[in-house]
Amino acid sequence: MEKAIDIYKAHGSADDGYAVDEIRKMLADLRPSPVFTLPDEEKKEGYEILFDGTNLDKWTGNKVGYVPINGCIYVTANYGNESNLYTVKEYQDFVLRFEFCFVRPGVNNGVGIRTPMGVYAAYDGMCESQILDHDDPIYAGLHDYQVHGSVYGVIPAKRIKHKPLGEWSTEEIRVVGDHITVTVNGEVIVDGDVRKACQGHNVAPDGSDKNPYTVDHRNHPGMFNKTGHIGFLGHGAGVKFRNVRVLDLTAQQQAAKGRAHRK
């Protein structure tokens, strides 16, 4: 157990006693990791499991700051580009489903969408969808385009009331072209188009799509990326993920075209 704590201190937040205590509790309760299997409906739809509770084989990046324990990914990674975990595969249009659980107040993470590796996904990727305990008082002054589920700095989200610490929530992120829909615990909190979100705000100096500006008055050069990785973006410890799966809509469309062509 202490070796695991030493690894965390070397690669996570060395002074973060809260997270260290949480890891100790989880390690003390180690048991065979439950293996996640797809529901029959999702099997028929064509979903693929990205994390089944046992390993990170379909992921790359920081595999020290994201630890598979007891069937979930426990995040210990600090803020920064090297604190991110990415899918090995790149995606264009997709539906991502997962569950998340906050185990400490003030959690800050995110989901990178169509992002290269090693960059700030919120700007150099298509976008970042926030994973944030916005109920914590430290976030009292946030804009709606910074709260949980928001397309960070681009599209505001409906500010939901999170479940208590330690309870699991479900989330779905659907990306089709420039359109993003985010659903948490069955409630749609974002349903918008990133291209349309640029309209009415400062335009790029050259007037092109290469450097779109948005409601946060920041440059988002990667906003119109056609493809990229999905990533969990570490901004500190205290969140768990499980039952992560994806439906590759682009692959399905290409397969359907292939079948139609052969007829």
Sheet order of strands, 127-132 included = 59-61, 84-91, 228-233, 108-115, 127-132
Site of tokens 């990170």 = 56
Residue in 247, 242, 2, 241 with CA at minimum distance from that of residue 131: 241
Residue in 200, 120, 98, 187 with CA at minimum distance from that of residue 155: 200
Residue in 212, 189, 186 with CA at minimum distance from that of residue 200: 212
Strands 48-51 and 72-75 come out as: unpaired
Per the CB < 8 A criterion, the answer to whether 30 and 69 are in contact is yes
Which position has the higher pLDDT, 141 or 210? 141
Question: Both tokens of residue 28?
Answer: 């003390």
Q: For residue 196, what is the DSSP state?
A: H
pLDDT for 26: 59
Domain positions in the chain are 2-262
In residues, how long is the chain?
Answer: 263
4 has pLDDT over 90: no
pLDDT for 7: 44
Per the CB < 8 A criterion, the answer to whether 75 and 65 are in contact is yes
Residue 198 pLDDT grade (very low, low, confident, very high; cuts 50, 70, 90): confident
What is the per-residue pLDDT across 218-234, written as a single tens digit (0 to 9) for each?
A: 889 999 999 999 999 98
Instruction: Please report, rounded to a whole number, the percentage of residues in the chain having pLDDT higher than 90.
Output: 65
Q: Rounded CA gap, 222 and 224, in Å?
A: 6
DSSP-H helix ranges across the chain: 2-11, 17-28, 40-45, 121-124, 194-197, 249-262
146 has pLDDT over 60: yes
* The architecture CATH gives domain 2-262: Sandwich (2.60)
Other CB atoms closer than 10 Å to residue 219's CB: what's the count? 17
For the entire predicted model, the pTM comes to 0.86
* Section 30-48 average pLDDT: 89
Half-sphere exposure of 187 (CA within 13 A, CB side): 11
